[in-house]
Structures are given as C-alpha cells and as structure tokens.
Amino acid sequence: MRYETDVTVIGAGGAGMAAALSAHRNGADVILIEREEESGGVLNQCIHNGFGLHYYRKDLTGPEFKETLEEELATTNVKVLEGTFVLDVSKDKKITFVNSKGIHEVKTKALVMTTGARERHFNSLGIPGDRVSGIFTAGVAQKYINLQNLKPANSALIVGSGDIGLIMARRLHLEGIEVKGVVEILPYPGGLERNVQQCLRDYNIPLYLSHSVTRVEGKNRLDKVYVSQIDEAGRIVPNSERVFNVDALITSVGLIPSVKPVEFVRTGPGFITTNTNQTTADWIFAAGNCTVIFDLVDYVAREGEKAGKYAALYAKNEYVPEERITIKKGKNINIIHPSYIDPNESTKLYVRVSKVFQRAEITVEPLGIEIIEEEARPSEMIEIHIKSFKEKRIKEIEVSAHELG
Amino acid sequence: MIAVIGGGIVGGLIAREINKYIEDVYLFEAKNSIGTGITKGNSGIIHGGYDDPPGSLRAQLCYIGNQLYDEISRELSIEVRRIGSHVIALDESELAKINELEEKAAKNNVKEYRILERNDLFDMEPNLNADALMSFYCPIAGVTEPWKVAMQSVKSVELNGGKVLKNKKLVEVKRKDNKFELSFEDGSVYTADLVINAAGLYADEVARLFGDEVPAIFPVKGEYFLLGKDVKYVNSVIFPMPSELTKGCLVIPTVDGGYLAGPTAHEVKSKQDFSTTRDGLAEVKEKSLRLVPSLDFSRNVVKTFAGLRPESREKDFYIDIGKSSVIHVSGIRSPGLTAAPAIARYVVEYLIQEKLHINLEKRKDYISHVEKIPHFVDTDYGYWVRAIEQDPEAGEIVCFCNEVTKREIREAIRNGARTIDEVKFATRISFGECQGSFCVSKILKMICEETGLEPKDVLQNEKGSWIIDSEVRTI
Ligand SMILES: Cc1cc2nc3c(=O)[nH]c(=O)nc-3n(C[C@H](O)[C@H](O)[C@H](O)COP(=O)(O)OP(=O)(O)OC[C@H]3O[C@@H](n4cnc5c(N)ncnc54)[C@H](O)[C@@H]3O)c2cc1C
Ligand SMILES: Cc1cc2nc3c(=O)[nH]c(=O)nc-3n(C[C@H](O)[C@H](O)[C@H](O)COP(=O)(O)OP(=O)(O)OC[C@H]3O[C@@H](n4cnc5c(N)ncnc54)[C@H](O)[C@@H]3O)c2cc1C
C-alpha cells in the first residue's frame, strides 16, 4: 500500500510520541512508526518514578508518563503503526517499511527521527576473559526483571555509575540479588548525587571509583570478575586487583544514538541539528536520544514537541530558515546540543562540562550570557536558554566553562 | 551402520558424503549443538590453496575444496562470497617473497592469481597502509559461515534418512566380532560397522579409544576482534606476508558486512581455553593496524573471541585408516574448512572405497538440495510480500541489527535449535552491534513458547550457561 502524509515520525518513545502530538497540533497529517509491538521506548521498562517533574509537573513512573502521552494521542487522528520496521529512507522523501501486513511506502513532506539510543555492550569494550553467559546490559536486566518477571542472577557486580547503573543496583538489591559493588572507571560517580545516596549508600552497596574490570572468568556461566584500580593515565595500578565472585555482570557503560536507516545526513554520533531540530537535510528533523543522550525524559519530550512543530511548519512551507550560526565547544565543554542556531528562533542549549567543578561559570560568547553552576559535573546536563537575536551580526557562538575562584 | 564421531564441518560433510551412498549413517556430537567446536571460532576464509607446503595433504585438498564450495553453496544453500584475497608486501624484503608465493602456487597447481602493482592494488583497496608496494591477489578466495556448512550438512543427513544425535560424547569402545560397540557419556550404546573419527581437537583422544595412535594434537589459540559494519574498511581478505608459522594477523570482511581482525597463534595448555587475553588482543591491534591503519578499535568493536587450532608437530592433516580399521580424520588445522568438502570425498572415495575395498553405489533416492528459508531482507520485495501473505511473521523484524524476522527464528527453533547460540548461528540474531540487547529476551520467550521449556532451562550454549535463575515473584 502507498500512503501520503505531511509528517512521518520514526520511533515512538517519549520523543516520538511528543513529536507526533505536536505535529498534529500544528495542523499536519501524521504517521508515527514504531518497530516494537508497543510504543513507549525506554519508558516501558522504567517502573521507578522521577519522570515528568518538569514536563507534566508531576512525579510519574515511566509507564505512567507514556500513558499520558498515549491518551492524548488517542484523541487525535495520528496514525500509529506499531510492530513496524523502517527499511529505507530515501533522499526523495519516500519511506519504506515492513510489518505483518506487508511492505509499504509513505511519501512524506517532512520526517522526524526519534529513534532513541542503544546500550553500549560489554563485548565492545575489548575486556579479555572467558566466553560466558551472565553478562547483561542494565536495560536487558531491567527488561527481564520488570517486564518478564525473570531473575537473571543471584549475585552481581555493576559496571558504570551513571543513573541507570545506580538505579539498577537498587532494583537488583530489592529483588534479592546480592549486589557486591558498583565499579566506575572515572574518579567521580556518573550519576546524580541523589541517586548515589538513595540507591547505594542507603543499602551499603560499595562504589569503587577509578576502578575497571580487567577480566571475566567462568565455565560457561560467569563466576569471577577481576577488578583493578586505574590511574590517571588509564593504566592498571599494580597489586590493586580484587576478585568478585558473582554470577552476573550488569553493565551500564553508555548509550549510543541510533540513526539507522537515515544515511545521508551529518551525525556525530547522533543526528546533528539546529535549535529547530533540523538536520543537514532540510526535510528531516530529529529529537531525543538519537541526537544526544539526555538525562531526563522531560527534556526529550520537550525536544520532540519542538521537532514536531517545526516539521509540521516545514511541511506547510511555513518554516524556511535563512541562516544557521555554528555553536562551538570552547574550553572544558564535552557535549553541546544543538550544533547550529537559527537566530530567528529561541534556543534551549544543552551542555555537558568535561570535568568536575566546584563552582563553574559557563559563558556563551559573543552573546554575553553567563551562568553560574554549583558543583557542575559531566554527568549533569546544564540547560541554557537563549532568546532569538535577529539584530546581531554573529557568525559563530562559543560555549566555555571555567572554575570561579 | 556407519558412525561419524564429531559434528563440526568435517564430520558433517563426511556424514553427508557417506549418506549419498548409504542411508544408515549416524553422526554423534558431544556438545548440545552442531558446528560449535573449532568450526565456530575461525577466520571463515575459503583459501586459494596457493601457499600450503607443496606435497602436503593440506596442499592436495585445499584447492579442490575451494572449487567444491560452488557446489556446497548451491546444494546446501550456503552463502559463499568469493571476495578475493591479497597478500601484501610492505617493504623491499617482502617484495622478494612474492616470487616465492608464485613458485608455491605453481607447485600446488593454482593458476588463479595475479600480481598487482601499487596503483591497481590501491584502486581495489584504498584503505590499505600507504607503504604497501604490491600484492599477490587471488580472486578465488572467499568467505563463508563455516558453522552454517556444518548445520546444513547435518540437515541434509536428516533429510536423507541419517541420524544426527547431539549430547553424545563417545567415552568407550568395545570390539564385538567385526563391529564396534560405542558407549556414550549419557549411558547409551550403539553398534557400528565402520567408524569415522572427526573429533576435531579431540581426534587424538578418540583415536586412543579405538587403540590407535595418531599424531598428538595440541591447541594453538587464535584471538580476534569483530568490528561492526558501519565503517567500510576493505573489500577483500588482506594478509600480511606469511611466516613459517602462520598466515599471520589478517583483516577479513565477514559474510554479513562486518570485519574480523586476527588471529594470533599461541600454543595453550588446555583444549577448553577459549578465553581472550590482554596480550593477545593487543597483538591483534598492533598487527592489523599495520595492514589497515584506519581500523577503529575504540569505537567500532562489536566483540572479541578466540578459537583453537588442532595443531600437530607435523603441521599437516592426518587422514588415514588405523590398525583398528577406524578412519581417523585428525589434525585438521587451517585450511581445514576450505578443504572439508575435499576431505569428505577423500574419505569416501579413496579410503572407504579404494583402501578398505568397500563397494558403494550412489543412492537413487538421494536428495542433494537442502532448502533454507531465506533471509528475507536480502530477497526482492515481491518475494518477501508473498511470504508475508502466507505467514505474517515473515514481516515482523525481531533482530534490528541484522533484520531477522520472527518467521526465520521460528523456523530455526522448529529445526531443533534449543539454545540462544543455536538460534544465533542459524539466523544471525544478536550478531550485530547491540549484541542481543534488543532481541535475546524475545528469542528466549519464543524458545519457551515453541518447546515448552521453562526460561530457567534455556541455555546460552553449553551445559551450565544458564541465563535465567528463576522467576522474580511467583504469581
Ligand atoms: C534505564 C533508564 C533509566 C532512566 N531513568 C530516568 C528517570 O528516572 N527519569 C527521567 O526523566 N529519565 C530517565 N531516563 C531517560 C529517559 O527515559 C530517556 O532518555 C528517554 O525516555 C528517551 O526517549 P527517546 O524517545 O529519545 O528514546 P527511546 O525511549 O529509546 O525511544 C526510541 C523508540 O524508537 C524506536 N525505534 C528506533 N529505531 C527505529 C526504527 N528504525 N524504526 C521504528 N522504530 C524505531 C524504538 O523501538 C523506541 O521505541 C532513563 C533511561 C534509561 C535507559
Ligand atoms: C583461529 C583459527 C582460524 C582458522 N581459519 C581458517 C580459515 O580461515 N580457513 C580455513 O579453511 N580453515 C581455518 N581454520 C581451520 C578450521 O577452522 C578447522 O580446520 C575446522 O573448523 C575443523 O573442523 P572439525 O570439524 O574438524 O572440528 P570441530 O568443529 O571442532 O568438530 C569436531 C567436533 O567433534 C566433537 N567431539 C569431540 N570429541 C568428541 C567425542 N568424544 N564424542 C563425540 N563428539 C566429539 C566436538 O564437540 C566438535 O563439535 C582455522 C582454525 C582456527 C582455530
């Protein structure tokens, strides 16, 4: 079958559902495509609360956040195709997809990519050892426990102290799995201080900072994990080895944006966009974890909403950017999103610093914006609001951070 | 009854070859799956046969095996990609060795090669080390998925009335009249008229069960990196100039679009040591970067693994009839998977028929072609749409990295796959970048649905490789 539509959204996680809703509200015909049998993305498996504090001003669980979006979608004529996999996005704006009903094509005016991210797997770290079962990414362990009622371990070590790792430590502990520690290669925890307290200290789970797994061992199932201290140059500190007798290793060592199957726009590694979520192909917009990894679903939903709006306006020929200003990473900045600004529109700038600061001053030049952040660290995304600035003749903007004495 | 011990690529193809003449063939495999010994962890190259020592059994069988792969590919529905191979000369001293390769090729009767000058070489392989001066190019070399050859061979055996039994480790042998009474670890006993020992790393130990001695086998480990398919590195197999000991550390495009870098070659103590090591992996990095400097080991790695070569001091295949009149197929090191189809013919046509004087006649009811349901994304859309009309599961993608449908997975389970790895090696699920993060829990569920197993009984591969301990809560 052939379809025609104004806006196609690929990926129905928090970003995609918000994008579809907002494109609809801005007057577009919308098709929302999801490869899983159920929409929601990561939200489905996060049964803890802490979602929606900004976006809905309510403390929701992941599934509750999703249901709120889903209920709104149900009142619209957005066509939601679940269990549907996109095979190809062509430069002439045709999208080919497959599902149990066959292979179909949509001719679209604009596209929003909200394909989320995948978890980096332990196998890709090149850490030596035996071929064993019992090594899971946090997301997989979370799916088994929260969605399938299956317990994949009796005792575990966790690698990675980002929020996901911390939340999983608590979850496993509460389900009767003995968590022998959380190992973090950096000298500071990757997640929020609140989570270190509530997920580790409250349960006496040790955190090993500046440590890394050096070897895994077992006969068919994991049985021992070797961990050593790592010095500042990334070398193993001699005689610092510890051995953990555990039958599972749960890893949370980063998320990698998914950009398949769009192959002809700039990525790095996520989609590179403007403040209006436009990629380097003017009809393709992107939002959420497929652009850059966000801390909170609230940001993701807000970005999705914006992408949906501009895609709808683009489809109606009501949004044509005239110029793009480059935003550059200056001193002590690790990540910046977006990469370009259309100065006629306002901007939410997301920044990650590259080291821990007691008190950081973050500057956006030459716009003269300065903000102060107490205890700024790489794990916490800093949000900066920039108003539209049509009158100024600016070619390039640079964001930097430095310590205030 | 004719018994074949060992369900690797060699045992699988031998059983298939015998089955062309005799229905009553039994293949016994110690593990719970087929093709997961040496056949699982190797370079997957169909070698050109130009550089094995002239006069060796290896040289005799490698080129013939290479040629037989066209038929194997057709009859067993196996993907063989003849992408060619280059042996690269990186400096003046290596240039001289290209002549030696030519001489060897002539002695081995291999004519399919060309010497490529720098410009032609870089036209074909722009990402090579800029120092490369020349290459020995062999267009008939290729790559395949060796475990699939083993799996499809045993499927062919089952299709033609033979029996394939897993979890059958041969532990004891008694002579009874002119027959062999074979006892397996699980307590079962079978009686065979003729036995072929194709037990891979354990062929020397199995030979001893029959009172025969074959050259001792010691394991030589080869470690690898598997790199993902998002970056294009090379189009063909890239070899360094070979040394006395090995063909060296290579860069190999895999059938499904990724790349292998490796292997190392270090003797180890245990035939069960499939671990990767810090030093081994570092060596692979260093050596493969000399061939293709852009290999991205920080961002593009999918996984690492190791395989074991069944090496003997003679460094050659040992394929012969023992005092017991059992046929031993031992020391099948590289290029064993290339030679495997030729080894199967050598065993049946030469050893069984000529040397043992057993007259065999081709069966009239033999079915040579083994179907395989296609990997639908590789078919044309018209075909795929018709398949979806017949079975909607053919339109449901379960593995997002390699785009495998529910239909393909269900078929693998119906064909006997009970472990995650069996489904993996049959369909390529969880071979991709996500390493199963998105699909393994769904595969586990499908295995349970289809077979009635409980989640706690579904294994990753061998005994003890459990995935699920129990339910979180009993409902
Ligand atoms: C374990 C974990 C815990 C978290 N905890 C919190 C928390 O406590 N509070 C909070 O605010 N945030 C939390 N987050 C972060 C937040 O939930 C996520 O960042 C956010 O939900 C991501 O939304 P997304 O739409 O960008 O991506 P996803 O939710 O990943 O959605 C992407 C969707 O796209 C689909 N898709 C991808 N490719 C295709 C394709 N080719 N065709 C069709 N469909 C496709 C996927 O199936 C998926 O449904 C957590 C995240 C994780 C992983
Ligand atoms: C690192 C490496 C790289 C290689 N690269 C290449 C290459 O690129 N090209 C090439 O042509 N060749 C290559 N080879 C060689 C090739 O992989 C082997 O020659 C081939 O796979 C051997 O197959 P097999 O069937 O003999 O062994 P296996 O696959 O090990 O099969 C033997 C089977 O016998 C079973 N068994 C053992 N004992 C018993 C028992 N007592 N009872 C019942 N069953 C038993 C085992 O479980 C096993 O499944 C490579 C090898 C290695 C290790």
Buried b (16+ CB within 10 A) or exposed e, A62-95: bbbbbebbbebbeeeebebbebbbbbebeeebeb
Q: Same structural domain for residues B77 and B97? A: no
Q: Domain range for residue B264?
A: 85-139+218-311
Residue B236, domain member (yes or no): yes
Average pLDDT over residues B362-378: 94
Query: Which residues of chain B neighbour A228 with C-beta distances below 8 Å?
Result: none
In this predicted structure, the answer to whether residue A380 has a pLDDT above a threshold of 90 is no
Tell if the CB–CB gap between B395 and A102 is shorter than 8 Å.
yes
Angstrom distance (rounded) from CA A401 to CA A70: 39
Residue B367, domain member (yes or no): yes
Angstrom distance (rounded) from CA B282 to CA B277: 8
pLDDT in tens, A222-278: 999 999 999 999 999 999 999 999 999 999 999 999 999 999 999 999 999 999 999
- Which of the ligands is closest to the CA of residue A85? 1
Does the CB of A47 have a partner CB in chain B at under 8 Å? no
Angstrom distance (rounded) from CA B363 to CA A7: 62
CA separation, residue B460 to residues A146, B33, B404 (Å) = 21, 11, 19
> Quick one: pLDDT at residue B475?
66
Please tell me if the CB atom of residue A85 comes closer than 6 angstroms to any atom of ligand 1: yes
Active site residue B86: no
> Quick one: pLDDT at residue B245?
67
For residue B221, report the phi and psi dihedrals to the nearest 5 degrees. -80, 145
| CA-wise closest residue to B239 among B340, B94, B338 | B94
Cα–ligand 1 centroid distance for B423 (angstroms): 27
Angstrom distance (rounded) from CA B341 to CA B71: 10
Atom of ligand 2 nearest to the CA of B335: 11
Q: Which residues 244-283 of A are in CB contact (within 8 Å) with B?
A: 247, 256
Q: Which residue bears the tokens 């619209």?
A: A76
| CA-wise closest residue to A183 among A234, A226, A143, A238 | A226
Angstrom distance (rounded) from CA A251 to CA A184: 10
Query: Which residues of chain A neighbour B473 with C-beta distances below 8 Å?
Result: 149
Q: Domain holding B304: CATH number?
A: 3.30.9.10
Residue B66, domain member (yes or no): yes
Q: Same structural domain for residues B102 and B128? A: yes
- Tell me which of B272, B289, B311 is where a domain ends: B311
Average pLDDT, chain B: 96
Q: In the beta sheet, which residues pair with residue A385?
A: A348
Q: Same structural domain for residues B161 and B115? A: no
Tell if the CB–CB gap between B441 and A143 is shorter than 8 Å.
yes
Residue B475, domain member (yes or no): no
* Number of independent structural domains in chain B: 3
Residue B464, domain member (yes or no): no
Q: Whose CA is nearest to atom 16 of ligand 1?
A: A297
Residue B384, domain member (yes or no): yes
Q: Quick one: angle between helices B440-451 and B420-427, nearest 10?
A: 110
Does the CB of A124 have a partner CB in chain B at under 8 Å? yes
Angstrom distance (rounded) from CA B69 to CA B48: 12
Q: Give the chain B residue nearest A222 (alpha carbons).
A: B465
Tell if the CB–CB gap between A137 and B437 is shorter than 8 Å.
yes
Average pLDDT over residues A184-201: 92
> Quick one: pLDDT at residue A2?
73
In this predicted structure, the answer to whether residue B474 has a pLDDT above a threshold of 80 is no
Average pLDDT over residues B177-203: 97
Compute the Cα dihedral for A100, A103, A108, A110 and give only its sign. positive
In this predicted structure, the answer to whether residue A392 has a pLDDT above a threshold of 90 is no
Angstrom distance (rounded) from CA B400 to CA B339: 35
Q: Domain holding B349: CATH number?
A: 3.50.50.60
| CA A117 and chain centroid, separation | 6
In this predicted structure, the answer to whether residue A390 has a pLDDT above a threshold of 90 is no
Q: Same structural domain for residues B251 and B155? A: no
- Tell me which of B290, B311, B332 is where a domain ends: B311
> Quick one: pLDDT at residue B246?
75
Q: Same structural domain for residues B68 and B148? A: yes
| Cβ neighbours for B212, distance < 8 A, ≥ 6 positions apart | B322, B323, B324, B326, B328
Q: Same structural domain for residues B160 and B59? A: yes
Please tell me if the CB atom of residue A35 comes closer than 6 angstroms to any atom of ligand 1: yes
| CA B171 and chain centroid, separation | 25
| CA B265 and chain centroid, separation | 18
Q: Same structural domain for residues B162 and B234? A: no
Q: What is the pTM of this model?
A: 0.94
Q: Whose CA is nearest to atom 3 of ligand 1?
A: A164
Q: Same structural domain for residues B306 and B324? A: no
Q: Same structural domain for residues B34 and B93? A: no
Average pLDDT, chain A: 95
Average pLDDT over residues A335-341: 96
Residue A354, SS3 per DSSP: coil
Q: What are chain A's domains?
A: 1-119+254-321 (3.50.50.60), 121-253 (3.50.50.60), 323-405 (no CATH)
Q: Which residues 86-115 of A are in CB contact (within 8 Å) with B?
A: 87, 98-103
Q: Same structural domain for residues B321 and B419? A: no
Residue B470, domain member (yes or no): no
Measured between CA atoms, how close is A35 to chain B, in angstroms? 8
ipTM: 0.93
Q: Same structural domain for residues B260 and B293? A: yes
Q: Same structural domain for residues B243 and B285? A: yes
- Tell me which of B351, B372, B393 is where a domain ends: B372
Q: Domain holding B424: CATH number?
A: 1.10.10.1100
Residue B207, domain member (yes or no): yes
